[in-house]
Amino acid sequence: MMNTELTDPRTGRSRGTAPVSREPEVAVAVASARTALGTWSALTPRDRARRLDRLATLIEDSAAEYAARERAGTGKPDAETAGEIEQVADLFRFYATAARTRTTPAAGRLVSGHESWVRWEPMGVVGVIVPWNYPLMMAAWRCAPALAAGNTVVVKPAETTPDTLELLAEHAARTLGEGVLQSLPGDRRTGRLLVESPVDMVAFTGSGRAGRDVAARAGTRRISLELGGNAPAVVLPDAPADTYASLAEAATYNAGQSCAAPARVITLTENYESTVARLTQAMGARLAGRDFGPLNNPDQTARYDSLVASSSAKRQLAADIAAPPGEEHGHWRAALLLADLPHDDPTVTEEVFGPLLTIQHADTVEAALGLANSVPQALAASVWTTGLGTGLDLAARLDAGEAWLNCHLVQTAELPHGGRGSSGHGTDLSTLALQEYQRPKTVTVRLSPGVPES
């Protein structure tokens, strides 16, 4: 098997190697998942729930090891990794319960002389491909509902962050059974081989370009796509006092490498300059190396630098970098605010995926809403105002799968997350995600002659 070199994003130095799976490894993994499917899908929801609950407990008991692996691959600060691992355990526990409380269309005598009902059945073997920004959490978003619904899963981590999924697969083998959840390390070609293998469904989280390639290769099989975002934050003149610090924190969490992070601040003309001043102060207080981690890899760093260099912004307001000793050569980038830029600036129209906020203004609320909805991505958005009626109206009219009012990046297992437009389709989180990984079967029985239709 081939190997690829791994680097530490905090230092830029090598930290070892990871295997790169090819046709033989993909075939073995998918065949193993197919073998395990019969036993796993035949379990009652209660029995699957018990095993998923044991996996959640094992994740909690091994939190320190998960955190060390996650930090090695991403450079995230300890507080970020601890919170995300807690969310991962919660997700598996949530779906353990959710699978037992699912709903179904009405059953009964819907056709004269017949009794009908609907069975929800697993899709089968699900191929999952996840990115490097949240290696463990994005895998849990996909794997937990798929497993709870009775599927088996082969998950390919990003090439730069295989660490935590290797451990998750080991723990899954101990708690769920062999072959139920497997990790398939590798590169882009590995992902293509997985999509082209005889899996029954593909769940992909990544870039729009890669998502379109997945869709083409998957053919008629079901796919679930989360393809990034470019979230607007509409800040009105009566925004709460904590708006600016909240936006700066959300924009720099995970170094801005979050599909739902605020990216485009849109104000009215009357509060544009005051918002620039307040965001300059708030972003300036967020230090790379102290408050948030580095960009993940050299390719992402080069892409980010290229987008910033291509910007026509007349004001580029950057914070400082406080890299710890010995980590000065990592992929650190300062929190950055870009102001006085055209509406078609590349940093506005493209997903930047870094610790950066652009700021635009419009003369009216309607025009501000138009700017917010002017890009093809439609994953998440927020509105900041103390006017409840105005805020609720704008939240309803924003073209996004998830909208926040006076907050941003607030998520929980109970609430669905998913995109529109070029951000893809499908649902992560909540009980609705179970239907991503199930297919309905209608069963209708003709009643025996002579049985009264009461």
Find the farthest-apart pair of alpha carbons in the chain and give their distance in angstroms, rounded. 86
Report pTM: 0.94
| Alpha-carbon gap, residue 142 to 423, rounded angstroms | 16
357-392 residue pLDDT tens = 999 999 999 999 999 999 999 999 999 999 999 999
CA torsion angle 171 174 178 184 (round to 10): 10
Split at pLDDT 50, 70, 90, the class of 450 is: low
186-196 residue pLDDT tens = 999 999 999 99
10 Å CB burial of residue 309 (0-12, 13-18, 19+) is: exposed
Active site residue 60: no
| Alpha-carbon gap, residue 225 to 3, rounded angstroms | 28
Active site residue 259: yes
Which candidate in 25, 70, 143, 259 is catalytic?
Answer: 259
Split at pLDDT 50, 70, 90, the class of 266 is: very high
Report helix, strand or coil for 313: coil
Which candidate in 25, 80, 159, 226 is catalytic?
Answer: 226
Tokens of 368: 């501000």
329-368 residue pLDDT tens = 999 999 999 999 999 999 999 999 999 999 999 999 999 9
* Residue 6: per-residue pLDDT: 95
43-96 residue pLDDT tens = 999 999 999 999 999 999 999 999 999 999 999 999 999 999 999 999 999 999
Pairing of strands 114-122, 108-111: antiparallel
| Alpha-carbon gap, residue 41 to 306, rounded angstroms | 48
Mean pLDDT of the chain: 96
